Amino acid sequence: MRVGTGYDVHKLVPDRKLIIGGVEIEHTLGLLGHSDADVLLHAIMDAILGAAGLGDIGKHFPDTDERFKGISSLRLLQYTRDLITEKGYVVSNIDATIIAQRPKLRPYIEEMEKNVARTLRISEDQVNIKATTEEHLGFTGREEGISSQAVCLLENFYDASFMAASTERNCSGCSGCSRA
């Protein structure tokens, strides 16, 4: 098993859509960035890449590359999944926090979790997303920006499939198994 962390910040500006976790959120301000500036997905991708020892999103999706201009970060997350699959890893679980004073994000959390789970081809209970404020303190509290933090645990693909097979199989009770 391998663990990785991710952190990201984007500035809040007028005339931009607010997209977090692949969900378009009703708000007067949006996040500024080269892609869709999805702060949550960027933190999650950095956590995944970090756990796999594959660097960070700046290395794989540079903001100088025209191919990534305005791109949905769900596409980048899909590409991140492909990168770790090539290295033989699967996501065991993700826990992430969005730090924003406004708007209220609770109504959107479930859809965000579904988007992340579907894109990574894992189940929804492997993705946990939380939202908090910083009590009007700092840049998030002043609504100048939104930040996000994430932790990801990866498993080796072969270990994960062995575990799945051994828990699904009905054990007849051999002497070499503690479940007998």
Q: Which residues bind Zn ion (CB under 5 A)?
A: 8, 42
Between 8 and 155, name the residue whose CB sits nearer to Zn ion: 8
Report how far residue 156's alpha carbon sits from residue 165's, in angstroms, rounded to the nearest whole number.
14
Nearest of 56, 8, 14, 7 to residue 31 by alpha carbon:
14
Residue nearest to Zn ion (CB): 42
Least distance from Zn ion to the Cβ atom of residue 63, Å: 9
Between 8 and 113, name the residue whose CB sits nearer to Zn ion: 8
Between 43 and 51, name the residue whose CB sits nearer to Zn ion: 43
Nearest of 88, 24, 79, 86 to residue 57 by alpha carbon:
79
Between 42 and 81, name the residue whose CB sits nearer to Zn ion: 42
Decide if 40 contacts 152 (C-beta within 8 A).
no
Least distance from Zn ion to the Cβ atom of residue 10, Å: 6
Report the Cα 119 to chain-centroid distance in Å. 10
Least distance from Zn ion to the Cβ atom of residue 150, Å: 12
Decide if 24 contacts 18 (C-beta within 8 A).
yes
Least distance from Zn ion to the Cβ atom of residue 41, Å: 8
